[in-house]
Amino acid sequence: MTPEPDLREALLAAVPSLRAFAISLSGQVDKADDLVQDTLLRALANLHRFERGTNLNAWLFTILRNLFHSEYRKLRREVEDPDGSYAGRMKIQPEQGAHLDFEDFRKALAQLPSDQREALLLVGASGFSYEEAASICGCAVGTIKSRVNRARLRLAALLNVDDMDDLGPDSMTRAALQG
Amino acid sequence: MTSDKGNKLARALPRTSLNDKLGTDAKLDSGSQKRIGDQLRAMYDELMQQPVPDRFKDLLDQLDKKKEGSK
């Protein structure tokens, strides 16, 4: 099937949101871009399976999410480290677009279990409904709702703890840097 | 209305955060939920606004040409 110009534009238009999702999911810009590239290639190879009129973004997110998880399973031992080397990698370098403002938030996000992080990103940031997120993740709507709720609770706890801890020198450093 | 700079706001108002923390049970209050949502979207918007790397445009262009050639 020839990708029509419309479709090419639609795929290109989806790249920023796919990248944002992939970066937030994996914590690594390089890996995220590889994921997005693999997603586009797989989408193009399977265009005949895409139902016209359905949500192209949801379809692309499903592909990306599945690619991420099949790779993630291979790397599970490395990635799911309780001592937080994964969280460490979430400290994306400034030239990769992370501002100081989001440093604490990124760290907190990286500490969530991946299923909760994924659900929160889909519903809270990517703009999908609970139903769409459930379809993308291949699970029940109630499961997504529960994951999103737990993700928010955990983030709130993590960030508030940080706020209290940061009443010391770090907030002064921050004030100095922002001043 | 919390601004896009939710994180800064949280920094500027530590007492609010403290109160939220003390008032948070299993159910997240709407203020905390909103602040987290604002921060998440602000972080995400920043990622979305990054320019699309050329590799993706090139990839789609190449495929277009390949398809044209194979017609």
Q: Does A85 touch chain B (CB under 8 A)?
A: no
Lowest-pLDDT range of A20-29, A72-81, B37-46 = A72-81
**Maximum mean pLDDT: which of A43-52, A95-104, A167-176, B22-31:** A43-52
Residue B11's SS3 state is helix
Interval A8-32: pLDDT, tens: 888 999 999 999 999 999 888 889 9
pLDDT for residue B63 is more than 80: no
pLDDT for residue A117 is more than 80: yes
Cβ distance A37 to B59 less than 8 Å, yes or no, reads: yes
Contact list in B for residue A44 (CB cut-off 8 A) is 63
Instruction: Output the pLDDT for position A175.
Output: 57
Work out the average pLDDT over B34-63.
Answer: 89
Cβ distance B52 to A19 less than 8 Å, yes or no, reads: yes
Work out the average pLDDT over A146-170.
Answer: 72
Place of tokens 């949502």: B37
Q: Does the complex come out with an ipTM higher than 0.85?
A: no
pTM: 0.71
Work out the average pLDDT over A48-60.
Answer: 90
A36, A101, A161: best mutation site toward chain B, by most B Cβ within 10 Å? A101
pLDDT for residue A163 is more than 60: no
Residue A88 in contact with residue B29, Cβ under 8 Å?
A: no
HEC readout, A103-130: HHHHHHHHCCCHHHHHHHHHHHHCCCCH
Contact list in A for residue B26 (CB cut-off 8 A) is 153
Instruction: Output the pLDDT for position B24.
Output: 39
User: Rg for chain A (alpha carbons), in Å?
Assistant: 18
